[in-house]
Amino acid sequence: MPERLSGPSMLALIDEVNGPNLWRVLQPITALEQAGYPAGWDFKSADLIGAIAPSFDGYLLPRISWPASHRKTAEAWFQANRRDGKFVVYDMDDDILTSQETHRRVDLNWTEGKSVEQLEEERHQRIWAMQQCDGVTVTTQRLATIARQYTDKPVIVVPNALDLVWFRKVVNSTRRTIEGLTIGWAGGRRHDRDVEQMAIAWGRLARRYPDVTFVVQGHHPDVIKEHVPADRLVLLPWMPADKYPSGIAQVDIGCASIASTPFNRAKSPIKCFEYAAAGAATVASPTLYSGVIEHGYSGFIVESADEWESALAELIESNSLRQMMARRLLKVVERNHSLAANLHRWPLAWQQIQESASRIIQVRNVPA
């Protein structure tokens, strides 16, 4: 356990249990609690939240916002916190501030019946909520740069980190249900261009290697189904946040394919951490992953369909290469990207934001 686990007590308030909250709240907060650190989480609508909250020094808001009709209530809440000497931290793991998010949802037809104007209003609500906070934690440097366009409060990078103990526990308890060698992709809703070159390569490999099965978990991009015959494709559904590693456990070679778009470049390379923890070799796009994977040593970095095909074919034909690359990448994850190795980053960031907020209050209270 890292040496420094001192800092302010924190209560994280979430709307729902989902993937982002698993990474950014449930896992780190639980690990901190287990280490004896004063932290906790609850749903912001919980009945007893008003009784629990006063015992904490500050609050963590992951992606939380208020509709315009609740703006006065939210303003009163922030004001009450400042009067009580408490501070509030906003947390983001995606670019939810710029119009890139609106454009992405429209392109994906993922608007939930909302107009562009309504989506933009929600975006501005998130910006307002973040601006009321005393500081922001984000997952990447690029996301920090984006956040600093909207606030002059401290913005601190706290990278995503994998809870290896939990992840391995789920993987080890999973029964393998797909026979033979598998190549897989797992992810949320996204544009087909993210996986197009990979999908073309998968189609070629399906013809070359009749015993290989292709596995897709979560979102099922149409472009993959266009290139890979249905009888060679296993489509796994969305799984609860605490169970999804069981799908990744079905994969021998993991593919982390993502296009170089402004929204994508602000994301983090968590998918290759998961593949490594599940014992899978990884082939990935240079966007996000070239900073983690050493090409030809701990995995392959590829772009074109020809490069995807060549790298995947090499791994299909060599079990020893698959195992060696998976072990090498796992060592990188254990050393640099595990939750145990990075747990101290959360309290350290909170303390820095609390100290900054305290200085601002002191300046405001100095007599003229």
Which residues does residue 136 pair with via DSSP β-bridges, in sequence order? 90, 155
Q: Average pLDDT of 72-76?
A: 90
Assess if residue 156 is contained within a domain.
Answer: yes
The stretch 243-250 carries a mean pLDDT of 95
224 and 83 in a common domain: no
Domain match, 288 and 216 both:
yes
* Token pair recorded at residue 18: 């989902």
Report how many domains make up the chain: 2
Q: Are residues 149 and 240 in the same domain?
A: no
Q: Which domain holds residue 171?
A: 164-337
Contact indicator for 137, 89 with CB cutoff of 8 Å: yes
**CATH code at position 131:** 3.40.50
Helix, strand counts (H, E) of the chain:
18, 12
pLDDT at 85: 93
Do 345 and 324 sit in the same domain of this protein? Answer: no
Does residue 288 surpass a pLDDT of 50? yes
Which alpha helices (H) appear in 54-98, and where do they start and end? 71-83
| Domain-located, residue 5 | no
B/e letters for 113-127, b = 16+ CB within 10 Å, e = fewer, are: eeeeeebeebbebbb
Statement: residue 366 has pLDDT above 50: no
Angle of helix 196-208 versus helix 305-316 axis, rounded to 10: 40
- CA dist 219 → 28, 121, 280, 308 (Å): 26, 27, 20, 20
> How many Å apart are CA 335 and CA 338, to the nearest integer?
7
The pTM is what?
Answer: 0.91
Q: Is residue 155 part of a domain?
A: yes
Tokens for 126, please give them: 């998130």
- Cα 43 to Cα 7, 20, 25, 52, 319: the distances in Å are 23, 15, 11, 11, 46
The CATH number linked to 266 is: 3.40.50.2000
Please report whether residue 266 resides in a domain.
yes
Minimum mean pLDDT range among 3-12, 134-143, 203-212, 287-296: 3-12
Closest CA to 65 of 30, 42, 92, 86: 92
Q: Are residues 221 and 266 in the same domain?
A: yes
Q: Is residue 1 part of a domain?
A: no
- Gyration radius from the chain CA atoms: 22
Confidence of residue 1 (pLDDT cuts 50, 70, 90): very low
* pLDDT at residue 168 is higher than 60: yes
| Dihedral of the alpha carbons of 188, 29, 49, 72, in degrees to the nearest 10 | -60
Identify the residue with better confidence: 353 or 49: 353
pLDDT tens column, 184-225 = 999 999 999 999 999 999 999 999 999 999 999 999 999 999
Question: Is position 2 within any domain?
Answer: no
